[in-house]
């Protein structure tokens, strides 16, 4: 087959990304293979395609990780957030800007469309830290979305202007189209990432950083500067109660449990005043209604009065126990959630995993370095200002400017001024340069004529005091950084107290609080049991989540999940709900015959842990074994004694045996038991009152 006869699919094959590579003939790929070598279709160059896809996928994955989903350790921002803040700073004039205008300006830097920019800006605004908002920005409590960008306005908060921006300490890079400059990272002097939290999903990598308290972060930074240890715990804007026992500093695999705050406002009424982080009042109410419909909890209705604060009223039916219902809400609804933490950030161009305390240490160290850089820049500017002010004072007071009247050329002017300054150069802290002299020539005559030597001396003294103060800050950088953080807390910490209460609470198991709104029925002879057999013998109240334990006449035990109807084995002598959480809380006293003609054995045991739907033999397993007696009682109580009546037989003088189970050791279900008699048993009966009294006197 020649090349011109190849299928259209092969001719139109394009690469998935970018421009198609130049086609390569079979001869170039392998000199030994040509169109004349075979008549079939050309085999695809799979190795070449695999290499291309592998390379492109790695490039794509790296881009998503570094440029979209994961925040940077330096400033705690994702690229879209950084570009939004930079764009808002460009438009900053003290007044509110339409969010639509900010989005449009940000598109100069962010090449992924206006929708992604708008969503990211709303999320920033709802955190109430960097963006000062105006209009309907949605409600994080109810989940209501914000108004369209053309209707809402924003500007940078005073906090953002103080700690996020400084063009003098910012490293710049070209934007995606090369027309503008954008910051590589913003010079943030605060642990912003821990304050705001972050969440993102990249290719093969996820990031989830929980928010922490503003004031506690500042206190933690001060502790680090003082050389002390820190122990950060999350704080959520929705409040609630958090159990951080398994937080482990936010390492991969760590989790915390968060609960809604539930109060009993009236006798048959519960009020939810705070919701767990990660949920809304809408989703919380949906989960409550769903649990009620499934019969897991019992309520009359739910009323949502949420506005600026959460208020969900749960009305209970008459006779319901509020405490039990509260525990059921934690077990079956979103009133209790488990949240995983995975602190992953970009550092030195690579994703890395940290604890919250490690991240705070990095942010504190970064802040101290930025403060040092700002002080060094400030010191340089002050020294330059002092240098020129001193130069200007000498230039005017010593009337050096008059000497240039006779100079005929520009170079002569420069040389004349330089010669006039020569006797005073030793007073300066650096060399007088040509640029300094040129600046002196630019002083206007009006300023020279109004020159005030006293004001000039006062200005120079003020600059010297500022220089000395700046040098002192540089020499005592740690002290200066601590003072800076204290001032930051004093200025912006009011109203940012902890909202989430830290506590420890036990896990609520579903079995312990599920409503027992069904009845367990049994057909003992045929061996069926369930909550749907309403014409048979009723045993006890149960729920649809219970397990059932059944023991048959031949000594077989089975534990199964309750259902409408299930087979447990014929001739059931005992059936009840089974407590899987505390299987040893119930003890069993059993007397059985070992095989058809075997000995009579007494067994005192607990079930222990069991596997659902597995049959266990409580006897020694011989065919024909039969249970004569089985009693059940709480393991902490004292068991009763029973009387074993024997069948009459020649030379048999004793017609009964007393078995006191309190003297039989309590063992596991696999134990064989203690021998009672080798004679045939007629029946087993409970002791009469007189027999009990006699047994007590004998004991």
| In 42-98, beta strands by DSSP E | 97-98
Is the CB of residue 146 less than 8 Å from the CB of residue 137? yes
For the question of residue 151 being annotated catalytic, the response is yes
Q: Are strands 501-502 and 241-243 parallel, antiparallel or unpaired?
A: parallel
Give the distance, in angstroms, between the CA of residue 213 and the centroid of all CA atoms in the same chain. 15
Q: How many residues does the chain have?
A: 699
Strands (E), 532-673: 537-542, 547-552, 556-561, 566-567, 572-578, 586-593, 600-606, 615-617, 626-634, 641-646, 656-660, 667-668
Question: What distance in Å separates the CA atoms of residue 312 and residue 372, rounded to the nearest whole number?
Answer: 50
Alpha carbon separation from 114 to 65, 107, 134, 138, 389 (Å, rounded): 21, 7, 20, 18, 50
Q: The sheet that has 336-341: what strands, in order across it?
A: 336-341, 254-259, 241-243, 501-502
Per-residue DSSP letter, 65: I
Secondary structure (3-state) at 267:
coil
Contact by Cβ (8 Å): 127, 137: no
Decide: 66 and 80 in contact? Cβ < 8 Å: no
Of 60, 96, 109, 151, which one is the catalytic site residue? 151
Angle at which helices 114-126 and 99-106 cross, to 10°: 130
The closest alpha carbon to 352, from 344, 340, 362, belongs to 344
Q: Residue 600's beta-bridge partner residues?
A: 593, 677
User: Any residues with CB less than 8 A from the CB of 411 and at least 6 apart, and which?
Assistant: none
Residues carrying an active site annotation: 151
């Amino acid at each position: 087959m020649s090349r011109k006869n190849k299928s259209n699919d092969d001719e139109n094959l394009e690469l998935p990304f970018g421009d198609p590579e130049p086609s390569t003939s079979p001869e170039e790929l392998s000199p030994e293979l040509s169109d004349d070598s075979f008549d079939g279709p050309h085999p695809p160059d799979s190795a070449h395609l695999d290499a291309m896809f592998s390379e492109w996928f790695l490039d794509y994955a790296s881009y998503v990780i570094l440029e979209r989903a994961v925040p940077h350790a330096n400033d705690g921002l994702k690229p879209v957030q950084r570009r939004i803040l930079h764009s808002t700073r460009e438009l900053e004039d003290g007044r509110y800007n339409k969010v639509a205008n900010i989005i449009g300006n940000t598109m100069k830097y962010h090449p992924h469309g206006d929708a992604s920019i708008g969503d990211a800006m709303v999320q920033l605004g709802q955190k109430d830290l960097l963006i000062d908002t105006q209009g309907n920005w949605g409600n994080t409590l109810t989940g209501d979305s914000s108004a369209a960008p053309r209707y809402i306005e924003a500007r940078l908060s005073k906090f953002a202007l103080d700690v996020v921006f400084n063009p003098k300490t910012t490293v710049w890079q070209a934007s995606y189209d090369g027309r503008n400059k954008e910051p590589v990272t913003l010079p943030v002097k605060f642990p912003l990432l821990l304050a705001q939290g972050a969440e993102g999903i990249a290719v093969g990598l996820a990031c989830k950083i929980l928010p922490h308290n503003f004031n506690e972060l500042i206190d933690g930074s001060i502790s680090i500067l003082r050389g002390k240890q820190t122990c950060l715990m999350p704080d959520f804007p929705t409040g609630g109660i958090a159990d951080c026992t398994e937080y482990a500093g936010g390492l991969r695999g760590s989790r915390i449990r968060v609960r809604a705050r539930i109060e009993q406002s009236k006798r048959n009424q519960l009020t939810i005043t705070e919701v767990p982080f990660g949920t809304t009042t809408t989703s919380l109410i949906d989960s409550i209604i769903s649990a009620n419909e499934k019969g897991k909890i019992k309520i009359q209705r739910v009323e949502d009065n949420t506005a600026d604060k959460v208020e969900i009223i749960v009305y209970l039916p008459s006779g319901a126990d509020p405490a039990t219902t509260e525990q059921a809400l934690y077990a079956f609804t979103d009133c209790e959630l488990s949240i995983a933490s995975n602190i992953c950030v970009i550092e030195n161009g690579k994703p890395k995993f940290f604890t919250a305390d490690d991240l705070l240490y990095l942010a504190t160290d970064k802040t101290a370095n930025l403060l040092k850089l700002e002080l060094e820049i400030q010191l340089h500017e002050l020294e330059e200002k002092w240098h020129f002010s001193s130069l200007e004072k000498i230039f005017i007071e010593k009337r050096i400017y008059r000497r240039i009247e006779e100079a005929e050329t520009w170079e002569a002017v420069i040389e004349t001024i330089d010669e006039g300054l020569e006797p005073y150069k030793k007073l300066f802290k650096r060399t007088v340069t040509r640029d300094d002299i040129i600046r002196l020539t630019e002083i206007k005559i009006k300023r020279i004529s109004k020159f005030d030597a006293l004001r000039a001396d006062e200005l120079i003294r003020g600059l010297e005091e500022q220089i000395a103060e700046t040098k002192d800050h540089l020499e005592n950088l740690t002290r200066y950084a601590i003072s800076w953080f204290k001032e930051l807390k004093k200025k912006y910490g009011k109203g940012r107290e902890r909202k989430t209460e830290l506590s420890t609470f036990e896990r609520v198991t579903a079995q312990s609080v599920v409503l027992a709104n069904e009845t367990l029925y049994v057909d003992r002879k045929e061996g069926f049991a369930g909550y749907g057999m309403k014409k048979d013998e009723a045993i006890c109240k149960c729920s649809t989540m219970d397990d059932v334990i059944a023991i048959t006449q031949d000594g077989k035990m089975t534990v199964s999940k309750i259902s409408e109807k299930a087979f447990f084995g014929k001739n059931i002598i005992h059936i009840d709900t089974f407590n899987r959480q505390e299987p040893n809380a119930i003890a069993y006293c059993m007397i059985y015959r070992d095989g058809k003609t075997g000995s009579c054995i007494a067994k005192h045991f607990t079930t222990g842990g069991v596997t659902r739907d597995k049959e266990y033999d409580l006897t020694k397993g011989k065919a024909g074994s039969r249970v004569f007696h089985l009693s059940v009682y709480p393991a902490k109580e004292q068991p009763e004694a029973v009387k074993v009546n024997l069948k009459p037989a020649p030379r048999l003088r004793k017609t009964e045996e007393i078995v006191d189970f309190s003297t039989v050791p309590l063992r596991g279900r696999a134990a064989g038991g203690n021998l009672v008699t080798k004679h045939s048993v007629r029946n087993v009966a409970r002791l009469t009152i007189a027999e009990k009294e006699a047994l007590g006197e004998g004991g």
